[in-house]
Structure 1
């Protein structure tokens, strides 16, 4: 199997509070466990998602294009980067989770400094660079125990 990674972002149509996030994560973790997918989901209070999916290419692409992209709970779904990988970056989670802020995402994705007014525009990061930034962000965050779900 050739390992494949896909990173996307989107905007939710409705706010996700703790119960909705718990449901979303439970569904994702069940699906991902069955399909050998790992990854991380970031969510901001203003309703932005950023997610890394890792697994077999056909399985990850099917999940994104036939499920995530068609999910009516969000819009402006956009792949930031995708392609083959040597190792999983989030191998211990069927779907890890971290709460983020708009500033966190702007810091990860923006070409302008976070304190500058302006639209979000993706940086021309390579996928390894973006994954490294995401791993550093994940490691620096505190989390609630219910958000952790180690891969079985």
Structure 2
């Protein structure tokens, strides 16, 4: 069975400190391990997220549509692409983390201008966006096996 990818962005209700981010990662990794989900989270200092989730279709969709969307700490959630994919892109990460600057996300999303929320992307096709995220992660010089904030 091919893994299912879902790529989304959101804005955290308030900037997230290191301790809160660490707790979120611990919870996410435990949940993802139990449900066969892998992926990566890009996080900016002001609390903007871009996340790739991958794994069994039902598990990925349930996580996003029933847990993430219903989490009151998230707002302006937007799916940027979803669907089956031949292989996992982050197979060794129950949830990898990469820090990004707002300008990094604007570049990844192809945003022509930054509105007040920075959430108006020119949508890339999912394969192209996934490739851009993979390139961004590769440039971070953190070993692929290392899952720490």
When the two structures are superposed, what TM-score results if normalisation uses the length of structure 1? 0.88
Counterpart of 1:80 in structure 2 is 80
SS in 2 for 1:20: helix
Aligned-pair CA distance for 1:142: 4.5
Gaps spanning 5+ residues in structure 2: where? none
SS in 2 for 1:8: strand
CA contact (8 A) 1:3 1:55 kept: yes
Is 2:98 aligned against 1:98? yes
Change (3 A) 1:32 1:118: closer
Counterpart of 1:129 in structure 2 is 128
Counterpart of 2:16 in structure 1 is 16
Counterpart of 2:110 in structure 1 is 110
Gaps spanning 5+ residues in structure 1: where? none
Superposition RMSD in Å: 1.9
When the two structures are superposed, what TM-score results if normalisation uses the length of structure 2? 0.89
Q: How many residues align?
A: 144
1:148 pairs with one of 140, 146, 149: 146
Equivalent runs, 1:14-93 vs 2, <5 Å: 14-93=14-93
CA contact (8 A) 1:97 1:148 kept: no
SS in 1 for 2:124: coil
Per-residue Cα deviation, 1:28-82 (whole angstroms, up to 9, x for no partner):
0000001010000011011101100001111100000110111111100110100
Aligned-pair CA distance for 1:141: 1.5
